[in-house]
Amino acid sequence: MAEITGAAAFFDVDGTLVWHDYEKIKTMTPEEVQALPPIRPSRTVYEAFDRMREAGNLTFICTGRHLPFIPQSIRDLNPDGFVAGAGAFVSVGEEVVRAEFIERDLLLETAARFVEAGLDITLEGDDDNVELNPSGRPARLPGSRLARTVDDVVELMREHRYSKFCTDGVSERDLEPLRDFIDEHFTLCDLQGGVFELSLIGVDKGTGIEAALAHLGHGRKDTFAFGDSENDLPMRGAVETFVAMGNALENVRAVADYVTGTAAEEGVPAALERFGLI
């Protein structure tokens, strides 16, 4: 691999590179959500990534989404790699340098506990997305499969593996009866918009960034990360400069080295210019 001389920057997707009107989405039906157009960064963001490349700087997508659910519009930014699944999967160029999965017994126990509580979860893996909905509601996300019972999950696990899961429309109060179990095995993050993400303890965007930098032989100097939600907080300790979006949660803004504009206000390109990266 060629010597790395430029900066390395890691970008969250939802709420960072693209804007979402979460309040509007919460009022939509599953059919309306599935009919939404694919997410797409602004032209200014595409131009910023091109200018990063021209300046000899590296760009990475650093998202809670797994690779199958990163749309082509994000891939068209032509990043140097991906930290996906909230750190469970890391690739640099074409090389996979990390892949973590929830072991079978823990996943089935997790599914059983949420089904018993009547709480819907979405299991996310490197090649599959399953909405386990004991409530009876239909699947909401494009490309997801639907499960109702633990037996459905057992059948799916014959061919697929899962790294994390999310809740949608579930409050922290709803999760309280499960908190001892959750806190023993998972890290709970508020993603905004009524969505909570649960990842294996120690598997997060920060450790994903560390895996990518170690593979590159790139130190912590001249590294940047951009985010807005709680699953972006671990990035803070893995990079030299952490940038929070103007639409970020308060606890994310509180630990940031710099707060830029919102995703709707082209906050990412503005911060890249502010730090002389483009």
Residue 78 · residue 48 · CB < 8 Å: no
Name, in order, each residue with C-beta under 8 angstroms of 66's C-beta and a sequence gap of 6 or more: 84, 85, 88, 89, 124, 125, 126, 129, 163
Q: Are strands 81-84 and 223-227 parallel, antiparallel or unpaired?
A: unpaired
Closest to 268 (Cα-Cα) out of 237, 238, 232? 232
CATH classification number, 104-200, choose in 3.30.470.10, 3.30.1240.10, 3.40.50.300, 3.40.50.450: 3.30.1240.10
Cβ neighbours of 151 (radius 10 Å): 12
Give CA–CA dist 73/40, Å, rounded.
5
Kindly list the domain boundaries of the chain, sorted by start residue. Answer: 8-98+204-274, 104-200
Give CA–CA dist 271/165, Å, rounded.
31
Q: Do domains 8-98+204-274 and 104-200 have the same CATH topology?
A: no
Helices (H), the chain: 22-26, 30-34, 43-54, 72-75, 104-117, 150-156, 172-175, 179-185, 205-216, 250-253, 267-274
Q: Model-level pTM greater than 0.75?
A: yes
pLDDT in tens, the chain (278 residues): 444 669 999 999 999 999 876 666 666 676 666 666 678 999 999 999 999 999 999 999 999 999 888 999 999 999 999 999 999 999 999 999 999 999 999 999 999 999 999 999 999 998 888 999 999 988 887 778 899 999 999 998 888 999 999 998 888 899 999 999 999 999 999 988 889 999 999 999 999 999 999 999 999 999 999 999 999 999 999 999 999 999 999 999 999 999 999 999 999 999 999 999 99
Closest to 200 (Cα-Cα) out of 123, 117, 115, 255? 123
Residue 264 · residue 253 · CB < 8 Å: no
Give CA–CA dist 262/236, Å, rounded.
18
CATH placement of domain 8-98+204-274: 3.40.50.1000
